[in-house]
Amino acid sequence: MAAGYDEAPMSTTDHDAARRAVQAFLVAIGAPVGTDPELEGTPERVVEAWSKDFLSGYAMDPARLFRDATQSSSPAVVVLRGIEATTMCPHHLLPASGRVHVGYWPGAKVAGFGAVAALVDGSTRRLALQEDIARNVAAALVEHLGATAAACMVDLVPTCATTRGERRHGLRAVATAYAGRAEHEPALRAEFLAMLGVTGAGER
């Protein structure tokens, strides 16, 4: 278990109830349960995937992630680009995958790159909208790391839009959030976006 995480939600999952629910769902939608050998064991695999992986972010404690942060007096922005992430849409229970870009202006401490990436993991491995992910990551850096300002851009391909309905293949959704001084200082937001190679039109 990574630092900053408690025991995974799997420990509190009612496995039998969840397995029965998945089995009932497959039967209710007309899946060939009982005749297709590929569906044998599917309910158990689904429960394990959801409880051990897709929802593991609920066990994250941001304060613990940054307890080993290093003292620093550097005012320079720290940017991590291209953190791969997948979240589950709370509306359709379908995945959205892509990359998350994070920047923060240190206060008295800087965090290890792994801790920042773990913050992204913990914020995405749950049922979440990407607007909320961006806001939660930026806020956590200010509240728990003591950053003076923070920014987060979440750039995902939502399968709820690309694989259902009108199937907008190639669609990407981008959400950006700021916390601390970056909420009120356009220059900081512009600096973050410039380091990502995008303009203010990429904000949301």
Q: What is the pLDDT of residues 133-156, one digit of tens each?
A: 999 999 999 999 999 999 999 999
Q: What is the structure's pLDDT at 5?
A: 45
**Domain residue extents for the chain:** 9-57, 64-202
DSSP state of 107: S
CA 17 to CA 26: how far, in whole Å?
Answer: 14
Angle at 42 between CA 36 and CA 46, to 5 degrees: 155
Q: What is the pLDDT of residues 46-79, one digit of tens each?
A: 999 998 899 999 999 999 999 988 988 778 899 9
Is residue 2's pLDDT more than 50? no
Structure tokens of 59?
Answer: 């066990």
- Work out the mean pLDDT of the chain and round it to a whole number: 89
Is residue 9's pLDDT more than 70? no
Q: 135-138 long-range contacts, Cβ below 8 Å, gap at least 24?
A: 135/177, 135/179, 137/100, 137/102, 137/177, 138/102, 138/177, 138/178, 138/179, 138/180, 138/182
Q: What is the structure's pLDDT at 57?
A: 93
Q: Tell me the whole-structure pTM to 2 decimals.
A: 0.86
Instruction: Provide the CATH topology of domain 64-202.
Output: GTP Cyclohydrolase I, domain 2 (3.30.1130)
pLDDT (average), residues 162-170: 76
CA 108 to CA 105: how far, in whole Å?
Answer: 10
Q: What is the structure's pLDDT at 168?
A: 76
